[in-house]
Amino acid sequence: MQRVVEPELMDEVAQVAAYAGADFAASDQALVERLAQVAGARSFARAVDLGCGPGNITLRLRARFPGLELLGLDGAPRMIEAARARSGVGGPRFEVCAFPSPDAPRDCDLVVSNSLLHHLHDPSVLWDEVRRRAAPGAFVFVADLYRPATPQDALRMVELYTVGEPEVLRTDFHNSLLAAFSDDELRAQLEAAGLGHFTVEYPDDRHVFIFGAIEG
């Protein structure tokens, strides 16, 4: 099945409300725990969450790594508003940021991104941003969907995993599955970005985890 791109930003009121209100607790926590597991004994001082949305992963990172200085970035202003409302005083910092951001400081020892890659029409934008933000030796953890083999598989996943969810969430999930990348495409992206040593793993039938350390 060929890739079908979707809008790069989710900033409609209904989209933000549906996404912020959805229960992704199990998959979000599994992501954070897997990150902690593969990071091993590394300690982190400063992290950035690229495409943070309403802050789901950013806030879980704060709970999992107390004392970590966290910055959540997203191009959708309404998503950032939702993240700030959930964070409260003393929580992670959230800012609106369009990617690429050429003036970003290379000062993060942890770079995280969840479900941004499939939104990008040009996937190199993410991998370039990762390199732009990551300090030498930084650990990178990217999670996303991967594209089903057929349109029928995509529809089956929508029926299986979005039962009872608002129609806008079901539609967005379907569009995201169609816009996600295949294994071959992901590995080609990593090679092109000089990140071919990163690990690519598939924890279930729809998600992919990509992780590794920046060399040099």
For residue 96, tell me if it sits in a domain: yes
Run of H or E including 187: helix 183-192
CATH number at residue 110: 3.40.50.150
Domain range for 205? 13-213
Write down the pTM of the prediction.
Answer: 0.95
For residue 152, tell me if it sits in a domain: yes
Q: Beta strand pairing status for 69-74 and 93-96?
A: parallel
- pLDDT score at 11: 66
For residue 2, tell me if it sits in a domain: no
Domain count, the chain: 1
For residue 100, tell me if it sits in a domain: yes
For residue 73, tell me if it sits in a domain: yes
| CB-CB contact of 45 with 69 (8 Å) | yes
pLDDT, averaged per 10 consecutive residues of the chain (216 residues), comes to 87 72 84 97 96 96 94 95 89 94 89 97 98 97 98 98 92 96 99 98 97 92
To the nearest 10 degrees (0 to 180), the angle between helices 13-21 and 167-179 is: 90
For residue 6, tell me if it sits in a domain: no
| Residue 69, amino acid | E
For residue 4, tell me if it sits in a domain: no
Beta carbons within 8 Å of 189's beta carbon, 6+ residues apart: 123, 124, 127, 181
